[in-house]
Amino acid sequence: MGLDNGIVVTKSKIADKIFKNKKRFYYYDYASEYEIIYWRKCWNIRAEVKKITGIFFDNDAQIALSIDDIAKLIKYLKNLNKKNWEDGGYSIWTWEEYKDHIKQDIKNLKYLLQYMKKYPELEVWFYDSY
């Protein structure tokens, strides 16, 4: 076991229209949601989500995310680099191991943000499982 975090979109007719058959913009297609982002053992990113949302959670949480939250998370991810990768928390991954993953996360979040603005009824969640 260990820390797993991610961002999911609840399935709906609109979410299906946006994500179905667009595998490059999600990691898994579950029965009730699309997993847009997945992080494994990145306490640093988890800590930033707590900061962005202003919600304290310990584990096994599900936090609704707003357009503003996603925009702030994109900004945070864009500013990550080798020097600040572990600021705010530990990760089992080195910056070199995870930087390409972060680049794809930014693309996925930009895609998601575009559709959150167009369809404000989309339900977007950060999940925390530890």
pLDDT digits (tens, 9 = 90+) for 6-65: 999 999 999 999 988 888 788 788 889 999 999 999 999 999 999 999 998 888 899 999
Q: What letter would DSSP give residue 120?
A: T
Q: Which two tokens stand for residue 115?
A: 């559709």
Cβ-based neighbours of 6, under 8 Å, separated by 6 or more = 27, 35, 36, 37, 38, 39, 126, 127
Q: Tell whether the model's pLDDT for residue 74 goes beyond 80.
A: yes
The H or E element spanning position 15 is: helix 13-19
pLDDT of residue 1: 59
Q: State the average pLDDT over residues 96-106.
A: 96
pLDDT of residue 31: 86
pTM (predicted TM-score): 0.93
Least confident of 5-9, 47-51, 88-92, 125-129: 88-92
Q: Which two tokens stand for residue 40?
A: 């494994």
DSSP codes, 35-98: EEEEEESBHHHHHHHHHHHT----SSEEEE--HHHHHHHHHHHHT--TTTTTTTS-BSS-HHHH
Does residue 69 or residue 21 have the better pLDDT? 69
pLDDT of residue 122: 97
Q: Name the residue with tokens 């962005």.
A: 52
Q: Domains, the chain, ranges and CATH?
A: 4-129 (3.40.1760)
